[in-house]
Structure 1
Amino acid sequence: MAGHDGSASDSVRLDARVFGVVQGVGFRFWTMGKAEELGLTGEVKNLDDGSVAVVAEGPEPQVRDLLDWLNSGRTPGRVERVDNEMSAAEGRFRGFNAR
């Protein structure tokens, strides 16, 4: 069995919930553009409680870059908090979609 060598092919999955003023401010499209720039797959969608759900998969450094951006204060609107967890990528996304 091959061991884990930490190569760039090791993809991770970010599940994040973004709270604050993040709906109706272009936040989803900004996130989609950023994720595509980083070469990530996944989706971003508005939730009924006013938060935004972000799922992103790709190499860990790029996924962490996206998470850093979500927390940076440079996003549209106003992010108050980002809850997130990392896990192994599932590989079920083709591109990155805003819903």
Structure 2
Amino acid sequence: MSEEARLVVWVRGQVQGVGFRWFTRARALEIGELSGFALNLDDGRVQVVAEGPRAGCQSLLDWLARGDTPGRVDGVTEIWDTPRGGYDTFAIR
């Protein structure tokens, strides 16, 4: 059985107004078994919260950090934690 995890990521760069949150949601759904959200922050970053199998969370983090995303990713900061629950799907906020 896969270990469950919570991943919180802050993505810096040109990541607002380019469909970044929508592509992040699509990628999370493609990976499967992930719930959470992608949210634009007032300072220009996007916050991504994902809960699910640790391997799935890692796959999403790798995709975010690789820069194979809309816009331009200058860097990511992540925190790993234990899942808190409360998400039915992967949403855009």
- 2:31 and 2:52 mapped to 1: Cα distance? 9
Task: State the match for 1:15 in structure 2.
Answer: 8
Amino acid at match of 1:54: V
Q: Find the partner of 1:59 among 53, 60, 64.
A: 53
Number of residue pairs aligned between Structure 1 and Structure 2: 92
Q: Supply the distance in 2 between the matched residues of 1:60 and 1:73 (Cα, whole angstroms).
A: 20
Structure 1 CA distance for aligned equivalents of residues 67 and 79 of structure 2: 20
Q: Which residue of structure 2 lines up, in the alignment, with residue 36 of structure 1? A: 29
**Cα distance, 1:43 vs. partner?**
0.4
Q: Distance in 2 between matches of 1:41 and 1:83?
A: 19
The answer for unaligned runs of 5 or more in structure 2 is none
Aligned sequence identity (%): 48
The structure carrying a bigger helix percent of its residues is 2
Q: CA deviation at 1:92?
A: 1.3
The Cα RMSD (Å) is 0.7
C-alpha displacement of 1:91 = 1.5
Runs (4+) off by over 3 Å: none
Structure 2: which amino acid aligns with 1:12? A
CA distance in 1, matches of 2:76, 2:83: 20
Instruction: Name the SS of the counterpart of 1:29 in structure 2.
Output: helix
Question: Structure 1: where are the runs of 5+ without partners?
Answer: 1-6
TM-score, normalization: structure 2?
Answer: 0.96
Q: Report the TM-score, using the length of structure 1 for normalisation.
A: 0.90
Give the deviation of 1:37 after TM superposition.
1.0
